[in-house]
Amino acid sequence: QVQLVQSGAEVKKPGASVKVSCKASGYTFTGYYMHWVRQAPGQGLEWMGRINPNSGGTNYAQKFQGRVTMTRDTSISTAYMELSRLRSDDTAVYYCARDPNSSPSSWGQGTLVTVSS
Amino acid sequence: NFMLTQPHSVSESPGKTVTISCTRSSGSIASNYVQWYQQRPGSSPTTVIYEDNQRPSGVPDRFSGSIDSSSNSASLTISGLKTEDEADYYCQSYDSSPLWVFGGGTKLTVL
């Protein structure tokens, strides 16, 4: 079955960077876009961007342009999301989610990133 | 760009039927697929409906999705409500940028 396993919680200081990983299994990693979505405490879901694991091509939400970088390592079926110049309002749970593409989307378990001085 | 608008909350009794709407602000609701996600407290979202009305294996047939072009909205209907259905529900569709658009979420209370 499709499984997305994310890296553990992080605590960062303002201005620092964080890199979250998402290891995929149970399907062909290069066959589906991988999206990143975040959820601030008590808030809704916010799309950040996506990566094509096959080509490495990316699309980012305008809000995160210049601060977010999505990469992948096909040899280990893992996608990464790095967010730089962290602020306190970046405190959120970050999810990876496989693109639907004629089958239901699967989501990772989430990674809590806390930004605090 | 468009927005997806959902009711903030709905409540219904066990065994009843509830419908959650998701209204698209501009452009046709039928022009892009709609997904519905269920999120229980402390858990990640899971897909209950994809591509407007497709149900993943393992999701009970009490869950159904539909599109109504006259109201430019998508709907998630849950029949035979159970207490385990209590959760937040999000609709999601596609745009040119941002690529994924989410509704604000609906808190379902089964009381």
- Express each pLDDT in A4-22 by its tens digit: 999 999 999 999 999 999 9
- Alpha carbon of A57: minimum distance to chain B alpha carbons (Å): 14
**pLDDT for B97 beyond 90:** no
| Token pair of A43 as six digits | 């808030």
Cβ-Cβ contacts under 8 Å, A46 against chain B: 102
Instruction: Give the pLDDT score at B106.
Output: 98
Q: Does A101 touch chain B (CB under 8 A)?
A: no
**pLDDT for B1 beyond 90:** no
Q: Does A65 touch chain B (CB under 8 A)?
A: no
Determine whether the interchain pair A45/B35 forms a contact, defined as Cβ–Cβ distance below 8 Å: no
Average pLDDT over residues A75-89: 98
Task: Enter the DSSP assignment of A7.
Answer: P
Q: Residue B84 phi/psi, 5° resolution? A: -70, -10
Instruction: Decide: A4 and A107 in contact? Cβ < 8 Å.
Output: yes
b/e A75-109 (16+ beta carbons within 10 angstroms → b): eebbbbbebeebeeebbbbbbbbbbbeebbbbbbe
Determine whether the interchain pair B100/A108 forms a contact, defined as Cβ–Cβ distance below 8 Å: no
pLDDT digits (tens, 9 = 90+) for B50-80: 999 999 999 999 999 999 999 999 999 999 9
Instruction: Decide: A79 and A27 in contact? Cβ < 8 Å.
Output: no
- Alpha carbon of A104: minimum distance to chain B alpha carbons (Å): 6
Cβ-Cβ contacts under 8 Å, B101 against chain A: 47
Q: Which residue has the tokens 């709905």?
A: B10
Which of A105, A106, A111, A112 to mutate against chain B (most B CBs within 10 Å)?
A105
Helix residue ranges per DSSP H, A2-60: none
Q: Does A62 touch chain B (CB under 8 A)?
A: yes
Residues constituting chain A: 117
Q: Does A106 touch chain B (CB under 8 A)?
A: yes
**pLDDT for A102 beyond 90:** no
**pLDDT for A56 beyond 90:** yes
**pLDDT for A53 beyond 80:** yes
